[in-house]
Amino acid sequence: MQLPRYVSPKRLKSGATGFYWNCPGIYQKAGCPWKSGALGVNLSQAELDAAAAVWNARFDEWKIARLPRRAP
């Protein structure tokens, strides 16, 4: 399985695999409002990609909004 950006798996007590999106520490310190989020349990590749895409898009928008605006 190919893990999307910022996603990590965790073996749960039940034996299932939980997937979590985690904001990199440097961006947490920079004020990113999202630290982590549960994506789901025992996801297929397509389900994992779709769930992570929502978090990564939100994170990318936050990073772009922080960039200084350039004058034309």
Total-model pTM: 0.86
**In angstroms, how far is CA 41 from the centroid of its own chain?**
15
30-59 confidence digits (pLDDT tens): 999 999 999 999 999 999 999 999 999 999
pLDDT of 20 over the 70 cut: yes
For residue 26, the tally of other CB atoms under 10 A from its CB is 8
The partner residues of 10 in beta bridges, in order of sequence, read 18
Distance CA 67, CA 70 (A): 9
